[in-house]
Amino acid sequence: MEQMTVTAKIQISVSADNKVLLDKTMSVYSDACNYVSEYVFRTHDLKQFSLNKVLYSTLRKKFGLKSQMAQSAFKTVIARYKTILENQKEWIQPSFKKPQYDLVWNRDYSLTQNCFSVNTLNGRVKLPYFAEGMSKYFDHDIYKFGTAKLVNKSGKYFLHIPVTYDIEESNISDICNVVGIDRGINFVVATYDSKHKSNFVSGKSIKQKRAHYS
């Protein structure tokens, strides 16, 4: 069996009071990530154990992070550095400019069919969300939730959840055509297959509409 991961995106419904709390939590979390990022850039230390030993108490006292939030901050920074090192082959300090919050499943957050529970600076809060398209993912014998990202886009709150599930391995003898797909702006989709056929879907109308509302 092979595994496939898709990203499910849900919109969270947030009251005015909880909006203030989420904004504060996400902002402080980003500040803490920048603090850890600066230390890692100076020391080149990417071991969570040693980072925890040196910086944990500071993240708790200076930034007010809960215990699990501090661990998530370490993981966020380590993952970002590893991506940079893999792609750029050099030490470049990442900056966490936009408020965000990385959430470990069943520690920082949990999700039922009608409620999103998240750890904040003031403890856990439970929030409703728009659940369209999510119901099938709650069969946890099939689907596994991973570390999600909470983001604020234009005053609306979204949770991006990686969902992993098993798929059967493809048998090469069953494949009769291979199609490459490229997505873009001028053309929403451009395809080319192993039979030398191509197809283009214009993005002109979408591009014009986006320009109108931007």
User: What is the domain partition of the chain in residue ranges?
Assistant: 2-12+102-167, 22-88, 176-206
Cα(58)–Cα(39) distance, rounded to whole angstroms? 12
Work out the angle at residue 103's Cα, subtended by the Cα atoms of residues 97 and 106, and round it to the nearest 5 degrees.
175
At 44, is the pLDDT very low, low, confident or very high (cuts 50, 70, 90)?
very high
Cα(87)–Cα(209) distance, rounded to whole angstroms? 34
Residue pair 28/195 in contact by the 8 Å Cβ criterion: no
Rg of the chain taking only CA atoms, in angstroms? 21
Backbone φ and ψ for 22, nearest 5 degrees, come out as -65, -40
Cα(132)–Cα(10) distance, rounded to whole angstroms? 8
What pTM value is reported for the model? 0.79
Place of tokens 């609306």: 156
Is the pLDDT reported for residue 70 higher than 90?
Answer: yes
Is the pLDDT reported for residue 37 higher than 70?
Answer: yes
Secondary structure of residue 149 in the 3-state scheme: strand
Q: Which of 51-60, 119-128, 164-173 has the lowest mean pLDDT?
A: 164-173
3-state secondary structure 126-140: EECEECCCCHHHHCC
Retrieve residue 162's tokens: 């990686």
| Percent of the chain clearing pLDDT 90 (strictly above) | 74
Largest CA distance in the chain: 62
